[in-house]
Amino acid sequence: MSQVVFITGATSGFGRACAHRFAEAGWSLVLTGRRQERLEDLKTQLGSRVPVHVAALDVRDDSAVKAVVEALPGDFRPITALINNAGLALAPEPAQRAALEEWHTMIDTNITGLVNVTHALLPSLMERGEGASIINLGSVAGQWPYPGSHVYGASKAFVQQFSYNLRCDLQGTGVRVTDVAPGLSESEFTLVRNRGDQAAYDKLYGDTTPLQPEDIAEQIFHVATLPAHVNINRLEIMPTRQAWSPFAVDRD
């Protein structure tokens, strides 16, 4: 039976790097994201090496998620690994100045979207059973608070706890679950968060050495290809040049 990976948010950053990494190892790819053109580009790049199925998908739309899963061609099921990667941060300002609509968008994407896709693919993952994996993109922001993280960090805390709780329910099915929690990583994530502000992007990633999407893809591939009896519950990854800061104290 061929190995099949289903990736959400495959059009950029970690998701796109995962598409390349799993293709290198000969896996069949199901690539999803909202930007159809980028999906077609990936199909052109990778389709001569491995079977590739692309589907434009907004993970917030549960009917669309169900339809995409139901329409998966026979060669692309059952799914061996689900990479729940689609996500975003918005509203870089403090909570008291953030727009409610942007909070809703983060919740709808990072929480509801991830839940939609997981729910739709659980039967397929359970059909695969031993060796199957759900790999959820959490973040250091789900564990460590920092200014401007408000709903984004809280959404990633949900991802961590949902991953752990899934582990409990899936015990005995062979399906593994991992919360992968990266720190500072260079991708379009920062342009999305800062509304396309290139100066903010350059400031965050300049004069240091952030993780690259390929670094995260390598870890995700490692998690998905461990022996079937091994489950990494949470994998937190930071660049060597990133660490924690002291508590902030308000002084007169």
Q: Return residues touching ligand 8X3 (CB under 6 A).
A: 139-141, 149, 183-184
The encoded tokens of residue 166 equal 């899934």
SS3 state at 95 = helix
Q: Single out the catalytic residue among 146, 152, 164, 201.
A: 152
Identify what 40 binds: ligand NDP, ligand 8X3, none; CB under 5 to 8 Å per kind.
none
Pick out residues in 2-21 that bind ligand NDP (CB under 6 A).
8-9, 11-15
Cα 31 to Cα 46: distance, rounded to the nearest angstrom: 11
Segment interacting with ligand NDP, rule: CB under 6 A, options 43-51, 64-72, 79-87, 220-228: 79-87
Instruction: Give the nearest distance from C-beta 30 to ligand NDP in angstroms.
Output: 13
31 binds, among ligand NDP, ligand 8X3, none (CB under 5 to 8 A by kind): none
Question: What are the start-end ranges of the H helices in the chain?
Answer: 13-24, 36-46, 62-70, 100-106, 114-128, 150-170, 189-193, 198-205, 213-224
What SS3 class is residue 53? strand
Position 139 contacts ligand NDP (CB under 6 A): yes
Binding partner of 15, given ligand 8X3, ligand NDP, none, CB within 5-8 angstroms per partner class: ligand NDP
For residue 142, state whether it binds ligand NDP (rule: CB under 6 A). Answer: no
| Residue 146 annotated in active site | no
Nearer to ligand 8X3, 139 or 219 (CB): 139
Residue type at 174 in one-letter notation: G
Per CB under 6 A, 188 contacts ligand NDP: yes
Buried b (16+ CB within 10 A) or exposed e, 194-226: beeeeeebeebeeeeebbbbebbbebbbebbee
CA atoms of 68 and 61, how far apart (whole Å): 11
Is 16 in contact with 41 (CB distance < 8 Å)?
no
Contact status: 35 vs ligand NDP (CB under 6 A)? yes
Residues in contact with ligand NDP by CB under 6 A are 8-9, 11-15, 33-35, 57-60, 85-88, 109, 113, 137, 139, 182, 184-185, 187-189, 192, 213
Query: Which residues are designated catalytic?
Result: 152
